[in-house]
Structure formats: C-alpha cells, structure tokens
A and B are shown apart, each in its own frame.
Chain A
Amino acid sequence: AQSVTQPDIHITVSEGASLELRCNYSYGATPYLFWYVQSPGQGLQLLLKYFSGDTLVQGIKGFEAEFKRSQSSFNLRKPSVHWSDAAEYFCAVGLYNTDKLIFGTGTRLQVFP
C-alpha cells in the first residue's frame, strides 16, 4: 500500500541554523510529492511540490526540497531557519490513478532564539 513516512516527530533547532526534514514514501511509481506547513490553529498551506523534471524544487518562504528516486525520499531543507518557521510540516503523496493526497504524520518544528 502507498504510504508516507516522516521519521522525526519533533525537531528543535536554533534560529539561523540549517534545517532538513525527512520524508520517505512507498509507491510503485514516481508519485506527485508535496510539502505543506501548518501553523498553530490554522489549516495547511502548500510550501512546494514536485511533479517531474528538476529534482530540486524551490518553494515559498525560502524552503526547497530534493526528490531522490533511489532513496524514495523527498526531504525538505532551509539553509537558515527563522523563528516564524516554527510549525508542523507535512509531507504528502499524490497518486496518479486517484485524486487522493496521502499525508505523513507530520514533524513539529520548534525554533529557539
């Protein structure tokens, strides 16, 4: 069955430090891949998406993600974290043959000043 795994439940970084959030998927073909962010008390907002082509994709708020087929991964990165980046981050997989979007369990990011 298709699945999305985010191994890190909670990550804490200092402001200005670099960030990498991990995401692995299980799917028979190359899926559509997404990262969404959820601020406290809010709905989810799209950060970036990968459909095909260049495996390094740029998103909003200075985030980027790299698709690695050999590792079935789509990790999210940011070179310098800001306090306002504290939120929960969700990786998601869209499947070719349906309109479903399957979300991972999320990674909560805490940023210390």
Chain B
Amino acid sequence: DAGVIQSPRHEVTEMGQEVTLRCKPISGHDYLFWYRQTMMRGLELLIYFNNNVPIDDSGMPEDRFSAKMPNASFSTLKIQPSEPRDSAVYFCASSFRSHNTGELFFGEGSRLTVL
C-alpha cells in the first residue's frame, strides 16, 4: 500500500488567501484524523472522521477551518481566510478501527506558511 498521501507537501500563501490541504487515507481504513503541529502547541487533534462522518471537531480552532470527507478515499482541510498564526505542519492520519485497538498511520505532512 502507498500509505497516507498528503498534498501539497509545502504551501506558501499570503494572509487572507484560501488554503486547501488534501489527504488520501490508506485503503480500507475507516478512521481519518487531521492534526496540526507547531513548536508552541505540539500535536493538536483538529477533527476526526469515522466512515466519512465527522465525529469530533472540537479541536478546530475557529470557523475559518473546515474539513470534509466526501468519500472513503479523500479528505480536505480548508482554511479561509488564512492568517499567519495558521502556519504549521498539518498531518493526516488514518487507522483501521479505532486507534485504541489499532495503529495510526501518518502522512508526511503539509507544511503551511502564511505570510
């Protein structure tokens, strides 16, 4: 299997622009997680899906952030409008069943820089 695939790997944009990050989970995995990593706050869970349905979005920082999973093989995380404080590495991870019985497989991340 190709693993979790994220795109783009790097994104540099200006404040106010829309940013869309993409994720393709491992085939057969029914959980998908979006994490954000910064030096100050470490790894934060933003939102996760089970069978394409958002289960918990309490980690989404504000309304500027939204995530969708239209099908089992694709998810997006959108920031609109973007701000400099959104600069971070965004990770997508997937797992078969809950992480509590399985293992999270992480993508290589999307590094976002907002100027």
Further 4 A-B residue pairs, CB within 8 A, beyond A36-B104, A46-B104, A101-B45: A32-B99, A96-B100, A103-B35, A103-B42
Contact, CB under 8 Å: B100 / A32: yes
Of B62-70, B72-80, B106-114, the one touching chain A: B106-114
B contact residues around A36 at 8 Å (CB): 104
Tell me whether B103 and A100 are in contact (CB under 8 A).
no
A44 pairs with B104, CB closer than 8 A: yes
Q: Is B34 at the interface (CB under 8 A from chain A)?
A: no
* 73-103 of chain A: CB within 8 A of chain B: 90, 94-96, 98-103
Tally A residues with Cβ within 8 Å of B.
Answer: 23
Query: Count the B residues whose beta carbon is within 8 Å of the partner chain — how many?
Result: 24
- B55 CB to closest chain A CB (Å) equals 7
Contact partner of A49 among B103, B106, B107, CB < 8 A? Answer: B103
For residue A108, give the distance in angstroms from its CB to the closest CB of chain B: 11
Contacting residues, chain B, for A104 (C-beta < 8 A): 42
Query: Distance (Å) between the CB of B14 and the closest chain A CB?
Result: 24
CA separation between A107 and B50, bound complex, in Å? 30
Q: Is A28 in the interface zone, CB < 8 Å from B? A: no
Give 29 A-B contacts (CB < 8 Å), ordered by A residue: A32-B99, A32-B100, A41-B108, A42-B108, A42-B109, A43-B91, A43-B105, A43-B108, A44-B93, A44-B104, A45-B106, A46-B103, A94-B99, A98-B56, A99-B31, A99-B50, A99-B55, A99-B56, A99-B100, A100-B45, A100-B56, A101-B45, A101-B104, A102-B45, A103-B35, A103-B42, A103-B43, A104-B42, A106-B43
